[in-house]
Amino acid sequence: MSQNIYQQLGLKRVINACGKMTILGVSSVASGVMKAVSEAAGAFVEIDKLVDCAGERVSRHTGAEDSYVTSCASAGIAISVAAAITQGEPDRVAQMPDSSGLANEILMLRGHNVDYGAPITSAIRLGGGRVVEVGASNLAARWQLERAVNERTAALLFVKSHHCVQKGMLTIDDFVRVARAHNLPLIVDAAAEEDLRHWVASGADMVIYSGAKAFNAPTSGFITGKKRWIDACKAQHHGIARAMKIGKENMVGLLFALDRYHQTPQGPTEVQLRPVAEAISALRGMQADIEQDDAERAIWRIRVRISQSELGLDARAVEAQLREGDIAIYTRRYFLHEGVFSIDPRTLAEGEMEIIVARLKEIAQHATH
C-alpha cells in the first residue's frame, strides 16, 4: 500500500474510528472540494465582497437572513459573544476583549459548561463575555434562567453537544422564550450538528456550526442567523475576529462542501453494522453491540465491552494497544472507566473496519489470562 502524505513526513498511519475529532484533523475533504480550494488559493478576490457572497450562499442552506464564515466553531463563539456585547458599535469593537463598563454577562446552563478540547468558557471570555452559570449540573428550571437576567446580561447561550448533560436541562424553546421576553440575543453552539435549518428555525439569533465536522469542509466554521446580529459579527473583523480570519480558499471550500452535502444519516446503518459487531463478539473477552449517538443524531456506532476477567486485559489496555500499534487506531474512549470503547464508522476508509477487527483478534489471541 502506498504511503499517505503524513507517512511521507515520517508520521504514523492513523485509522480514525473515533469520529470527526479535532485531534485527528476532524474530517477528510472530498477531491472536488479540494479542487475548488486549489483554484481559489491561486487567484485574488475582493475579500469583503467574498465575505458577503459566502454569507448569502451559506444562508441558502440554513434559511437564515445572513451568515458569516469564520475560521472554526470556537472562533464563532467568541465572535458571537463580542457581537452581542458590542452590538457592532466601532468603539466597542475596538475595545474588545476588554468589556469593562458594558453589559457582558453570558447566561448558560451549568450542564452546558463543557470542554471540547478546550473549555467553552475560554471562547466566551475571548469575546469579552463573563460566564454566568444557571441551574445545577444535572437539573435546571426556567425560573432560574429568568432570575439570572439583569441589566448586565448581554446574551443567552444554548449548547447542543454530546458533551453536555443530556437530562434535566432546559429546552431551546425555554431559551427562546426568555430571550424574547427580555429582548436579548440568543446564541446557539451547534458545532457538530448536521441539521442546517432546525436551530435557525427555532428562533435563535446566532447559530454556530463547524464546517469541518458534519459537512466535511476544510478548516472553517460559520455563524448564521438574524441580519442585525450577523452584521455585528462582521464588524468584529476590525477587532478580535482579525486574529480568527479564514483564508479565501477555505471560505470557498466550505461553500462547495455545503453544496455537495445531503442531510442523510452519516455512515452505515444499525443493520449494516450488525455483522461487524457479531464478528467482534466472537472474540475472547469482547462483546459488541450497536449504540446510537448520545445527542440522538442519526449516527450509529459499535460499542465494545471488554471482560477483564476473561481476557486478562481491561478496556484501557486494549484501547492503548490499538492506539500505540504500527497503525494508530483511535476509538471513542469516553467510557473506558466503564470497560467500554466505541468504533465510529463514519470516518473509516474502505477496508479499515477489517483492519480494526483483525487487530482486535490479534490482541485477544496474544492476551495472557
* pLDDT band of 262, cuts 50, 70, 90: low
Amino acid at 204: A
Cis amide linkage into residue 218, ω under 30° from 0: no
Residue 139 is placed in which grid cell?
437539573
- Taking only the tens place, the pLDDT of each residue in 44-88 is 999 999 999 999 999 999 999 999 999 999 999 999 999 999 999
270 burial level (CB within 10 Å; 0-12, 13-18, 19+): middle
Looking at the chain, the whole-number percentage of residues with pLDDT higher than 90 is 84
Given a contact cutoff of 8 angstroms between Cβ atoms, the answer to whether 74 and 123 are in contact is: yes
* pLDDT band of 20, cuts 50, 70, 90: confident
Q: If DSSP codes are grouped into helix, strand and coil, which group holds residue 6? A: helix
Rounded mean pLDDT of 104-115?
97
Give me the pLDDT at residue 2, please: 78
Rounded mean pLDDT of 252-276?
84
Least confident of 16-30, 131-145, 205-219, 353-367: 16-30
Q: If DSSP codes are grouped into helix, strand and coil, which group holds residue 366? A: helix
| Torsion angle of the four alpha carbons 104, 106, 107, 108, in this order, in degrees rounded to the nearest 10 | -160
Which of the 8 DSSP states describes residue 214?
T
Domains of the chain: 5-25+265-366 (3.90.1150.180), 44-260 (3.40.640.10)
Which stretch of DSSP H or E encloses residue 288?
strand 286-292
- Look at residue 264 and tell me whether its pLDDT is greater than 60: no
Amino acid at 224: T
Alpha helices (runs of H) in the chain, residue ranges in sequence order? 5-8, 31-41, 47-62, 73-86, 90-95, 120-126, 142-148, 172-181, 198-201, 227-235, 248-260, 270-281, 308-311, 315-323, 352-366
- Taking only the tens place, the pLDDT of each residue in 307-324 is 999 999 999 999 999 999
